[in-house]
């Protein structure tokens, strides 16, 4: 049903203004109030379409909590700190972070939790899973109070929408979504100078005809807002996401019922995402006057901050089944054949020196 509503919306928009920019189409497919995918109730978990890392194991959230506590201590324990999660899904990650903080840093654990969430159905789930915390919901980051911010975004930026351009042998041209009996990707106008700069196309030399590059305007906007906030008020922002360090390639993907799906014919009924360009985030953050560390693979990050040691602590010699599930979860999170190298981790902090645990290069 949602796919049919998306199709009608897209056909109407195309008839009025021509083929759609891909970021506009993705945004509508995910958050449109009438048919957006994120307004469906059961999208995360075994009964939904996909499973995120916090749902794989409590260790993910516990270690993120321990990491944020370390950064909070290094920041001189600001008393007016805020905790924040962008795109909190079912609230599992924030709940596990709070459980860890309650044990290792009770004062920090009592910080108010701010959630960036547009889905009313997910807010209802989060309200239940986070009922022990003081929680504030926001549609966007601009409503966050001007206080030190300690935040995390797991699989948030990959859903913000992305635009594409394709090289025709002489010029970079927009790649757009059209509809004529079915959805198809078509070549559009030549990029102007401002658009070439946004896509960072000037850095590319001797590209083959047909090369595709990507640019997420919403990622740049939000990264800049976060960097300016942290520069002025302090804190840290941890990013975990599908990632790469350039803008090259068609990385738009969709998943439905735990399987890959064609994005456009399933739009409204499938999770559409793209691989995050961490180099673009780095440029944006540094231009705003903050510091960006990473990216480093999820495997290296969680290995360095102690996921294997945490698994050993949780292991129960009297329950082989629990142990098998525990170490299978570790493997899923850090193995290169699973999530370990697909996901990258980056950190936004105020300007300074040194590397925190998790980001050591050796």
Which CA distances in Å does 334 have to 96, 222, 274, 293, 308?
19, 28, 21, 20, 10
In a domain? residue 192:
no
Q: How confident is the model at residue 362 (pLDDT cuts 50, 70, 90)?
A: low
Q: With pLDDT > 70 as the criterion, what percentage of the chain qualifies?
A: 95
In a domain? residue 199:
no
Of 239, 238, 237, 245, which Cα lies nearest the Cα of 277?
Answer: 245
The answer on pLDDT for 180 being more than 90 is no
Instruction: State the residue range of the domain holding 125.
Output: 48-160+217-244+271-349
**What's the total number of domains in the chain?**
1
Q: Across residues 26-34, what is the average pLDDT? A: 91
In a domain? residue 193:
no
pLDDT in tens, 71-97: 999 999 999 999 999 999 889 999 999
Token pair listed for 28: 């509508």
In a domain? residue 60:
yes
The answer on pLDDT for 43 being more than 70 is no
In a domain? residue 184:
no
Q: Which residue has the higher pLDDT, 269 or 152?
A: 152
In a domain? residue 286:
yes
Average pLDDT, the chain: 91
In a domain? residue 313:
yes
Query: In a 10 Å sphere around its CB, with 0-12 CB exposed, 13-18 middle and 19+ buried, how is residue 319 labelled?
Result: exposed
In a domain? residue 119:
yes
- Residues 14, 178: contact at Cβ < 8 Å? yes
pLDDT in tens, 58-75: 999 999 999 999 999 999
- Residues 348, 292: contact at Cβ < 8 Å? yes
**pLDDT recorded at residue 93:** 96
Token pair listed for 150: 């300690």
> Residue 135 maps to which CATH number?
3.40.50.150
**pLDDT recorded at residue 170:** 94
Q: How confident is the model at residue 247 (pLDDT cuts 50, 70, 90)?
A: very high
Token pair listed for 57: 């194991």
Of 100, 103, 76, 93, which Cα lies nearest the Cα of 156?
Answer: 93
**Which positions ≥6 away from 113 have C-beta within 8 Å?**
82, 83, 84, 85, 94, 98, 130, 133, 134, 135, 136
């Amino acid at each position: 049903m949602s796919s049919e509503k998306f199709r009608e919306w897209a056909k109407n928009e195309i008839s009025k203004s021509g083929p759609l920019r891909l970021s506009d189409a993705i945004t509508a497919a995910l958050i449109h109030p009438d048919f957006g995918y994120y307004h469906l109730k059961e999208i995360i978990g075994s009964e939904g379409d996909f499973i995120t890392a916090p749902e794989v194991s409590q260790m993910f959230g516990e270690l993120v909590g321990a990491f944020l506590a370390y950064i909070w201590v290094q920041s001189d324990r600001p008393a007016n700190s805020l905790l924040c999660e962008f795109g909190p899904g079912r609230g599992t990650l924030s709940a596990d972070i709070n459980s860890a903080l309650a044990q290792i840093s009770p004062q920090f654990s009592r910080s108010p939790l701010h959630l960036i969430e547009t889905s009313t159905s997910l807010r209802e789930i989060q309200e239940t899973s986070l009922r022990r915390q003081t929680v504030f919901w926001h549609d966007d980051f601009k409503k966050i109070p001007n206080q030190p911010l300690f935040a995390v975004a797991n699989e948030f930026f990959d859903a913000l929408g992305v635009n594409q351009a394709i090289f025709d042998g002489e010029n970079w041209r927009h790649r757009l979504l059209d509809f004529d009996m079915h959805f198809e990707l078509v070549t559009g106008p030549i990029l102007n100078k401002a658009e070439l700069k946004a896509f960072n196309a000037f850095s590319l030399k001797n590209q083959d005809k047909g090369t595709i590059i990507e640019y997420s305007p919403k990622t740049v906007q939000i990264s800049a807002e976060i960097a300016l906030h942290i520069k002025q008020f302090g804190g840290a922002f941890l990013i975990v996401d599908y990632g790469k360090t350039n803008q090259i390639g068609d990385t738009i993907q969709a998943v439905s019922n735990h399987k890959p799906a064609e994005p456009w014919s399933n739009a409204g009924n499938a999770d559409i995402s793209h691989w995050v360009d961490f180099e673009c985030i780095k440029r944006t953050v540094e231009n705003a006057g903050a510091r960006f560390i990473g990216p480093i693979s999820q495997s290296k990050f969680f290995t360095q901050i102690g996921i294997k040691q945490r698994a050993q602590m949780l292991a129960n010699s009297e329950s082989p089944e629990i142990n098998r599930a525990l170490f299978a979860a570790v493997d899923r999170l850090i193995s290169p054949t699973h999530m370990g190298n697909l996901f990258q981790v980056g950190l936004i902090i105020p300007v300074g020196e040194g590397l925190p645990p998790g980001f050591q290069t050796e």
